[in-house]
């Protein structure tokens, strides 16, 4: 087990370096000059353009630019954006907010999703099953920005239960509504995944054995069946956590949350390679760790899977 974890951690190093290079190269290859939109609808004056290029190493070819970036990175310096703000400062401010948002979304989708999945799984074909199926279908079919805007309008503006937008402090309470909006679509998938797996596993031999042994219904379902049925759900949720961190752009815009998704979007837009690489590298690391945790959880959920 320990050996397995060490091996996985070592493997992360080349992945992270490779990912930063790929991202850097992609931003570099994007069409459009970072200076083209900077001075309005007139070209920047040559003195400013030259200074700007020199300050941000834009005159160098890609490998040298990247080498300079890595050199700074090795000293713990993530660089400065075109707006002359330190990338590290931005990330330090934004990642905690986005993480809180993602945690709320994950908890929401796990609790409600698994509960709905179990209920509809054990009452297959009954009213509750159909209700869950139809309601999840509706949630999946509606785009996030519609759900978000509607929730903001109804619960924020009309009823006044939640703040309309999130303040710079971004407290847990303020993030509750955005988090639920963000988790809504994943919730639908979690419910459906849980239900399908549960229904399948309920027909398995070991469940019949458990029932024949005289175990209570709650124990048969809750311990024996559900544990096995959760493997695909855990895989999904693990990957989803990373996705929610970087992909919450729409929710962040609607509720004016100063998160990572919007930051990456803006930076790509302004061809700000340093900012994009910094933010995405952290995302890559999060993804890698989530993957590791998910793989380790497999062993816990199903003892037949071993990492030794």
Partner 1 sequence: MRGTTRTVAVAAVSAAALLAAGCSSGGNTPSASTSTAASAKAGGAVTVHGCTPQNPFIPANTNETCGGNVLDAVVSKLVRYNPDTAAPEMDIAEKIESSDNQNFKVTLVKGYKFTDGTEVKAKNFVDAWNWNRYGPNGTLNSYFFDVFEGAPDLDCGTFDKDQGTGENDPKAGDPDCKGKPPKAKTLSGLKVVDDYTFEIKTTEKVSNLAVRLGYTAYAPLPDSFFKDDGKAYGTNPVGAGPYILEAYNKGSDMVLTKNKDYKGKFPGQVDKITFKIYQDTEAAYKDVQADNLDLLDSVPDSALAGERYKTDLPDRNEAKAVGTFASISFPSSKADKSYDNPKLRQAISMAIDRKTIVDKILAGTRVPATGWVSPIVDGYKAGACGEFCTYDAAKAKALFDEAGGYTGKMTIGYNADGNHKGWTEAACNSIAKALGVECVATPYPDFATFRTKITGEEMKGMFRTGWQMDYPSIENFLAPLYGTGAGSNDSRYSNPAFDKLMTEAAAAADGATANAKYQEAEALLKDDLPVIPMWYGKAVVGWSTKVANVKVTPFGTFDLTSVTVK
**Using CB under 8 A as the criterion, which residues of the chain lie in contact with partner 1 when the complex forms?**
31-55, 58-59, 82-85, 89-90, 93-94, 149, 152-153, 156-157, 160, 163-165, 168, 252-256, 258, 262, 266, 269-271
Q: What minimum distance in Å lies between the beta carbon of 246 and partner 1?
A: 15
In angstroms, what is the minimal distance from the CB of 304 to partner 1? 48
Rounded to 5 degrees, φ, ψ at 276 are -60, -50
Nearer to partner 1, 160 or 303 (CB): 160
Instruction: Let me know: does 231 contact 302? Beta carbons within 8 Å.
Output: yes
Torsional sign, CA 237, 239, 242, 244 = negative
Minimum CB–partner distance for residue 213 and partner 1 (Å): 57
Q: Look-up: residue for tokens 């029932």?
A: 211
Q: How far is the CB of 60 from partner 1 (least distance, A)?
A: 9
Cα gap 205→196, rounded to integer Å: 17
Q: Are residues 165 and 255 in contact, defined by beta-carbon separation less than 8 angstroms?
A: yes
Nearer to partner 1, 33 or 302 (CB): 33
The C-alpha atoms of residue 242 and residue 7 are separated, in whole angstroms, by 22
Cβ neighbours, 10 Å, residue 283 = 22
Q: What is the DSSP letter of 86?
A: B
Of 227 and 258, CB closest to partner 1: 258
Whole-number minimum distance, CB 66 to partner 1, in Å? Answer: 17
119 C-beta neighbours (distance < 10 Å), count: 18
Q: Which is nearer to partner 1, 85 or 134 (CB)?
A: 85
Q: What is the DSSP code string of 165-194?
A: S--TT--HHHHHHHHHHHHHHHHHHHHHHH
Closest CB to partner 1 among residues 15, 39: 39
The answer to whether 299 touches 306, Cβ cutoff 8 Å, is yes
- The least CB distance from residue 167 to partner 1, in Å, is 8
- Comparing CB distances to partner 1, the nearer of 37 and 222 is 37
């Amino acid at each position: 087990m320990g050996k397995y974890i060490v091996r996985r951690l070592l493997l992360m190093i080349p992945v992270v370096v490779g990912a930063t290079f790929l991202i850097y190269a992609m931003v570099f290859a994007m069409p459009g000059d970072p200076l083209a939109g900077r001075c309005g609808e007139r070209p920047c004056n040559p003195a400013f353009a030259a200074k700007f290029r020199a300050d941000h190493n834009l005159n160098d070819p890609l490998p040298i630019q990247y080498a300079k970036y890595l050199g700074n990175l090795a000293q713990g310096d993530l660089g400065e954006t075109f707006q002359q703000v330190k990338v590290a400062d931005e990330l330090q401010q934004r990642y905690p907010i986005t993480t809180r948002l993602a945690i709320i979304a994950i908890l929401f989708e796990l609790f409600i999703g698994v509960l709905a999945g179990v209920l509809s799984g054990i009452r297959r074909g009954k009213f509750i099953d159909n209700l869950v199926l139809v309601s999840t279908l509706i949630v999946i079919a509606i785009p996030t920005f519609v759900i978000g805007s509607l929730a903001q309008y109804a619960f924020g503006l009309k009823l006044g239960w939640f703040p309309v937008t999130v303040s710079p402090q971004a407290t847990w309470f303020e993030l509750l509504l955005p988090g639920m909006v963000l988790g809504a679509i994943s919730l639908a998938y979690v419910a459906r995944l849980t239900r399908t797996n549960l229904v399948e596993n309920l027909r398995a031999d070991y469940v019949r054995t458990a029932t024949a042994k005289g175990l209570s219904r709650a124990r048969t379902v809750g311990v024996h069946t559900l544990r096995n049925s959760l493997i695909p759900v855990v895989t999904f949720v693990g990957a989803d956590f990373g996705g929610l961190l970087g992909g919450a752009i729409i929710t962040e815009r609607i509720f004016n949350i100063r998160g990572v998704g919007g930051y990456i979007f803006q930076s790509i837009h302004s061809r700000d390679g340093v900012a994009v690489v910094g933010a995405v590298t952290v995302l890559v690391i999060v993804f890698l760790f989530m993957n590791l945790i998910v793989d380790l959880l497999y062993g816990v959920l199903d003892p037949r899977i071993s990492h030794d």
